[in-house]
Amino acid sequence: LLEKWAVALGGGGNHRMGLYDMVMLKDNHVDFAGGIKAAVARTKAYLAQTNRMLAIEVETRNLQEVKEALQAGVDRIMLDNFTVSATKEAVEYIAGRTEVESSGGITRHTLVPYAECGVDYISVGALTHHIKGLDMSLKAL
């Protein structure tokens, strides 16, 4: 939580504070469910069954998965480890029909080219990956 606070203080934004803010279907969820269509369908059924109103984001690895996620009706598509040119192609295909996030390997040096592709969000894990946790354990004497 301290890392998220530090990002906010530095002018950045956190798209999720926790698992309760938005459903994020990662590649392992998609693979386990048998594909994006199945993963999204199961997620939508669960949300309806439990009366939860949460947005669904799907991590995609290629343009075919982007197409599947768009057809499944997700709220946000994450382009994971896409090159700048592949990102541009995906954004053009999506054409504003849902939110788009770039993620994976993006640094302060590559931030501008990704932003120029027209994505809505950019995840930069490097902001918090190098931080060491503070040991705040309590020991009984």
Q: What's the CATH code of the domain at 16?
A: 3.20.20.70
What pLDDT is attached to residue 1? 63
Torsion of CA 50, 46, 121, 88, to 10 degrees: -160
Domain tally for the chain? 1
| Domain assignment present for 71 | yes
Per-residue confidence band for 127, with pLDDT thresholds at 50, 70 and 90: low
37-72 residue pLDDT tens: 999 999 999 999 999 999 999 999 999 999 999 999
| Domain assignment present for 16 | yes
| Domain assignment present for 121 | yes
Task: Give the span between the Cα atoms of 44 and 36, in whole angstroms.
Answer: 12
What pLDDT is attached to residue 75? 98
| Domain assignment present for 134 | no
What pLDDT is attached to residue 60? 98
| Domain assignment present for 133 | no
Whether the pLDDT of residue 94 is over 60: the answer is yes
What pLDDT is attached to residue 141? 61
| Domain assignment present for 74 | yes
Mean pLDDT (the chain, rounded):
88
Whether the pLDDT of residue 137 is over 80: the answer is no
DSSP E strand boundaries for 41-130: 55-60, 76-80, 99-103, 121-122
| Domain assignment present for 56 | yes
Name the 3-class secondary structure at 102: strand
Q: In what order do the strands lie in the sheet with 121-122?
A: 22-25, 55-60, 76-80, 99-103, 121-122
- Write phi, then psi, for 24 (nearest 5 degrees): -120, 110
Range of the domain at 42: 2-127
Per the CB < 8 A criterion, the answer to whether 131 and 116 are in contact is: no
Per the CB < 8 A criterion, the answer to whether 79 and 119 are in contact is: yes
Residue 102, beta-bridge partner list: 79, 122
| Domain assignment present for 137 | no
